[in-house]
Amino acid sequence: MALNHYSTWKNILVTLIVILGVLYALPNLFGEAPAIQISALKGGIDPKTIETVESTLSTAQIPYQIETTEERILVRFDDTNAQLIARDLVAQSIGDSMVVALNLAPKTPEWLKLLGAKPMKLGLDLRGGVHFLMEIDTASIMTRRLDTYLTDVRTRLREDNIRYRKIELNAQNELQIRFEDEATLQQADHLLNAEFPGLELLPVQNDNAYLLQGGLSELEAREVLNYAVDQTMMTLRNRVNELGVSEAVVQRQGAHRIVVELPGVQDTAMAKEILGKTATLEFRLVNVDRDVNNVTSTSVPADSELLYETNGTPVLVKRQVILAGENIIGAQTGMDEFGKPSVSIQVGGDVRNFSRVTGENIGKPLAAVFIESKFINKENNGEIVREVKHIKEVISVATINSALPNRFQITGLSSAEEARTLALLLRAGALPAPIDIVEERTVGPSLGADNIKAGIWSTIAGLSLVLLFMLFYYRAFGLIADIALVINLVLIIALLSVLGATLTLPGIAAIVLTLGMAVDANVLIFERIREELAQGNGIQGSIYAGFEKAFLTIIDAQLTTFIAALALFSLGSGPVKGFAVTLIIGLITSVFTAVVVSRAIVNKCYGGRNINKLSIGK
């Protein structure tokens, strides 16, 4: 076998990889255009809305380019002034039924879009984005825990035959139990304080009423709050992941506040809608014993509740929940047998009760009730206060054909977007309590532009110095290393774009570091070739030995850095993780370009030829 020769298929493969790298890195050269995004709060985009948008912009004589899908309208402009003016005009013309948000639309040519090529995502420090400060409704958490205790206390008192007159949560949101006499009160006090250390109940005598009342102990309240904050953070991270936002920051601030930063997100309305929803799903039987058309708000049976579908159709559902949202472990969008949007549900845990109840009610309707908690502003004694409002909506009513297993389908959804949102929320999990966005900041890209400019110039400066050094020190082989180094940079950008990884300022530092490390591999190879030449080996043998003998050393050096980068990725967060991701990608491309690409070029230039001298410096 001839030395320093790649087979044809290897040369074709290397060339193909380089060409693909160039193609998928190209979208980053075209930049982004200011745009507005218009999306519906519910359902899809009405053709009349498109006409209204076009008419509004044409009347205002604002040049634009419009793209429409079933879920949104994207309108591009020439500059940010036109974008801001258009946002206000369009928002006024289409009303409150649609969400109009500022956006940045890539100016990638259509032929690149057809190949699936798209620019890199940029982090909050480069692209800008949104910053939310969220506050958990602690009162709802404590009330829910006290409700649980109320049920447990009632059961425990009945088990010990301790008679009580009434047990309830009073106006001060305290657990209150009334007894007939002091002796019964003392007996209950001794029992409950021993059985429920998380409660602090104190005897109170008021107007001949013997009471035990109190709330959660300080330790219990702190544990409940910490658990709720941790669960909320986990749920928010899941929702951020479902949104496809990389390098997001979700961290605790104080006792009951959480900071969420979403780099690159311009559609703040959509982000708020997804992150802030305290949503869950309940499955209940429909009450078929009463005609819903004859039921009013004052004549609803005690065991039922009058709710409404999205289109306003009334539905009388049973209060008993036969399956709750916390039992759902999976949710995927799809199409039903009629080609309509649907969500496939997977249930975990013990589903015997669900299967039993549905099996006993074959032929009867089953309702899927979507429950969402929102904060609303309400006037109280001249002051505006925020209260939690629970909104219940029937999203699907289906006839039970058989006992439902742990997998089934929700149908009757109005649009694919509604199906995706529902599946997202069910997969990510319900928030344990309502959260209120108390602060919202949009981080503009002006600081990011300065960072990008500094990062680009630092990369260019570092790359130029390395290229000049290699060219001066290793002559023709230095030029080969320079070509491989440029290809390495192109491949890093291409992989960041294809994988959807987010580039941050630390990521730019990782690119500069990677370029320096990539040159180290070429230096090892070239110095080994020099050593072989100095020992009197032939030119072809020296080239071959240089690449072969340096290979293991290069792998060892890159592997140790790769392990360190994996540790940073696993243990770090935010900017640290962004640095690690870029470094890992750079290590992989460095080995490929320094060993494979460089060797392919050397083989083409020197392989199979009678050469008297190599241009590899001293």
Give the integer Cα–Cα distance in Å for 608 and 603. 8
User: Could you tell me what percent of the chain has a pLDDT over 70?
Assistant: 83
pLDDT greater than 50 at residue 268: yes
Q: Tell me phi and psi for residue 361, to 5 degrees.
A: -125, 35
- Residue extent(s) of CATH 3.30.70.260 domains in the chain: 32-106
Helix, strand counts (H, E) of the chain: 16, 23
pTM of the model: 0.58
Burial (Cβ within 10 Å: 0-12, 13-18, ≥19) of residue 8: exposed
Statement: 223-442 belongs to CATH 3.30.1360.200: yes
Q: Tell me phi and psi for residue 101, to 5 degrees.
A: -130, 145
Statement: 8-26+444-606 belongs to CATH 3.30.720.200: no
Fold of the 139-221 domain: Ribosomal Protein S8; Chain: A, domain 1 (3.30.1370)
Pairing label, strands 98-106, 328-335: unpaired
Q: What is the pLDDT of residues 27-48, one digit of tens each?
A: 998 888 888 878 765 556 778 8
Choose the CATH number for 32-106 among 3.30.70.260, 1.20.58.110, 3.40.50.2300, 3.40.50.720: 3.30.70.260
Pairing label, strands 502-503, 121-122: parallel
Q: What is the pLDDT of residues 467-478, one digit of tens each?
A: 898 888 888 898
Report residue 473 as tokens: 């020190």
Mean pLDDT confidence for 532-540: 86
- Residue extent(s) of CATH 1.20.1640.10 domains in the chain: 8-26+444-606
- Residue extent(s) of CATH 3.30.1370 domains in the chain: 139-221
Q: What is the pLDDT of residues 148-179, one digit of tens each?
A: 788 788 888 888 888 888 888 887 778 888 88
| Mean of the per-residue pLDDT values of the chain | 80
- Residue extent(s) of CATH 3.30.1360.200 domains in the chain: 223-442
